[in-house]
Structure 1
Amino acid sequence: MLKFDLLATDPDSHARRGTLTLNHGVVQTPIFMPVGTYGTVKGVMPRSLEDMGAQIILGNTFHLWMRPGLDVMQSFGGLHQFEKWNKPILTDSGGFQVWSLGAMRKISEEGVKFASPVNGDKLFLTPEISMQIQTVLNSDIVMQFDECTPYETKGHLTTEREARTSMELSLRWAQRCKTEFARLENPNALFGIVQGGMFENLRDESLAALVEMDFPGYAVGGVSVGEPKDEMLRIMAHTPHRLPAHKPRYLMGVGTPEDLVEGVAQGVDMFDCVMPTRNARNGTIFTRHGDLKLRNARHKSDPQPLDATCTCYACAGQSGVSWADGGRDGFSRAYLHHLDRCGEMLGPMLTTVHNLHYYLNLMREVRESLDAGQFSAFRARFKTERARGV
């Protein structure tokens, strides 16, 4: 089941505000979706995710197929009960993970042969098998199995001919996914994925063919795969707003806070990225006034929180009152710097809570600006604040 309601649009951009109704709940869009590769968002309790406003999270088809396996998933009735998350879940198809295996995999018309990175077993992943795995996972949004077109191929920039071959294979796989999804009588929603590399004409062809197949929603894939930022922004500016206005649009694997706001301006409804969680574990903190490098020695005795305007548990503690509003319950930069230096697990747990809260709160502010008809002003203010620096 999927129902998308468009509530508001911005007259000065392609930005839009909506609600996405799925089998496990309603999602307010635009939305950022935390990534939970192995059935968990690293370092964060499910209750904390709910407290910070997470409405939908991701699971990884490839890795959950490897471990714990489909027998275990089947015994729990899917991923929701297994990881105790009763809100919507989106699962990727496994295509990106197969792409990342590089020389360890062999792609054919039928599917992809590869050795398991877990135990070396020889495995074969096809569009049909991807649909079967995701049906067992019972994810609210299922992604088609596609080939993620690389930016570089065998040491050279991917040519238009190579990108076309990849894109056309993904289209044939999309139809096979749709056929298998229907055969399985999966009650959830299947999204098609627009490919075509860095070539606008191929993106247009892929988009048109997928729209003809009439998927409930569409994603833009094949970005953030090693291309320069300006190339990614060019494709992001070209593609999303050309997708059907009455269906949800998802930009896969993107990105920085700036990417999210610009993506919204180009008509994107849904985002995911490992950046807030991965960067948190590496000491890079996202704040309203730019990025903070927690490992810098200048934070050794700094009593300030990560972000004086933030109400997350790391910055505002139990009270939830930010320093800017007079609260003093949060953890200091000095303490978090100390935890990082000592390798204490509480450190990345708290910084992950902060980074995810920042991303989710950013999307909440975007939605509020769209509701109020003030997205353009919000976008300008956001750029100015982030450029100030910490």
Structure 2
Amino acid sequence: MSHGHFATIAARAGIAQDPAHEAVTPPLYLTTTYRLKALGQAGPYDYSRSNNPTRDVLAEALAALEGGAKAIVTNTGMSACLLALQLLTPADTLVIPHDCYGGSYRLFTNLAERKQSFKLVIVNFQQADWAEQIRAARPAMIWLETPSNPLLQITDISAVCHLAKALGAKVVVDNTFLSPVLQQPLALGADLVVHSTTKYINGHSDVVAGALICADQATGDELKWWANCLGITGAAFDAYMTLRGLRTLAPRMQQHQINAECIVAFLQQQPLVSKVYYPGLEDHPGHAIAKAQQQGFGAMLSFDLAVEPGLLQHFLDALHCFTLAQSLGGIESLICHPGSMTHASMSAEAQKTAGIGPTLLRLSVGIEAIEDLLADLAQGFSALARASQATASDDKAADSSAVGDNTALSQSCRLSPALNALW
């Protein structure tokens, strides 16, 4: 694939490259196995768990977008995380951020504690002494998530990579929140980039998949071997669907961001919002770093409501354009309560340490008409204001005790068959 602008690379992934019939759009190869010409004469493809033409087109496009030597397409974002961890041994130390995605946190802590797959050190990269903490840990791998989920905290990728090189450690960056259109960690010195392609890269909330992009060929070859060995490579149909979504990644991200900026401005004017978390705000602690290492501020944002937790449902019930659901990065707008949803696998103490409070809400801003999104939120705040006024006296305490904090909400979700798999 020729290198060019991100929009061109994404839009032309696999276009006019069909060697069989000159199809403009690359075909979908659903076959599980391939004919050998003769004994000992295997071609580039023999079995689709190992190699598949459709999956390879997607991998080549993602490698080009991230500026990597090799990409491995996996069946989920979490399997992409698991794949990167195959570079570690039980004697190695992995450093992770204190506020990473709840699913990643669950994977790291359980592999370290229950399987002794590696040693684990949790570091707050927002503290002034983060570098000293890492030097003391002597890690083999440093895991970054920037912007972080769900508080959108920013970590200086170049600074961490500079330190990692001196320590002989590899740096892995979860780039799911921004996509390669808005951030290229490998160009900043990272060794590996992880994506849940379920999110922005696919963009239509109809495929669960992941990807791992490696800066050097040797690491890519080793991890491709592990992906085949573990059986976590992505399905051909999923790759085909993800390719279709990838082609509109650049214009989608542009519209996502336009809408997000309008919503941030709206939220700042709401008296029932106590804080907005968005790196595009000039008073955000990581604004300068984000501006330097990103090509945009993305379309993920969070905010704290200045009400009792028991009133959250009044706000959520009034929304129609924002759907209460897990995930992010689709063309549709979603709202999430991290404490009881995406980060419920973290203990109450870990949530508190990460800054995840009981009234924190996270928005994945879609590409709907901004007028409709703002009207929807205005409707939610009107309902919340009415509920807040109605419970300003004795009912306020009753509502608060009935719903409780994130711990009570998490327990409620754990008992739901539909959400039980999250834990």
TM range (shorter): under 0.3
**TM value normalised by structure 2:** 0.25
Larger Rg: 2
**TM value normalised by structure 1:** 0.27
